[in-house]
Structure 1
Amino acid sequence: MRLAVIGAAGRIGSRIVTEARGRGHEVTSVVRTGGDADHVVVADVFDPSAVAAAVAGADVVVNAAGHAAQLDDAGFYVRAARSVVAALRTLDPPPRLIVVGGFGSLRDPAGGQYADRPGLPVQAAPEIVGQRDALTYYRDVEDLYWTYVSPPPGGIAPGERTGTFQLARDTIGDREVSSTLVSMEDYAIAVVDEAVHARHPHACVVVMG
Structure 2
Amino acid sequence: MEKYQKLTGIAAPMPLINIDTDMIIPKVFLKTIKRSGLGVNLFAEMRYNDDGSEKDDFVLNQPAYRDAEIIVAGDNFGCGSSREHAPWAIKDFGVRCVVSTGFADIFFSNCFKNGILPIVLPKEQVDLLMKDAEKGANARMTVDLEAQEITTSDGEVIAFDVDAFKKHCLLEGLDDISLTLAKADAIQSFEQQAQQSRPWV
TM-score (norm 1): 0.34
Higher strand share: 1
**Which has more helix, going by share of residues?**
2
Relative contact order, higher structure (CA 8 A, sep 6+): 2
Instruction: Give the TM-score, by structure 2 length.
Output: 0.35
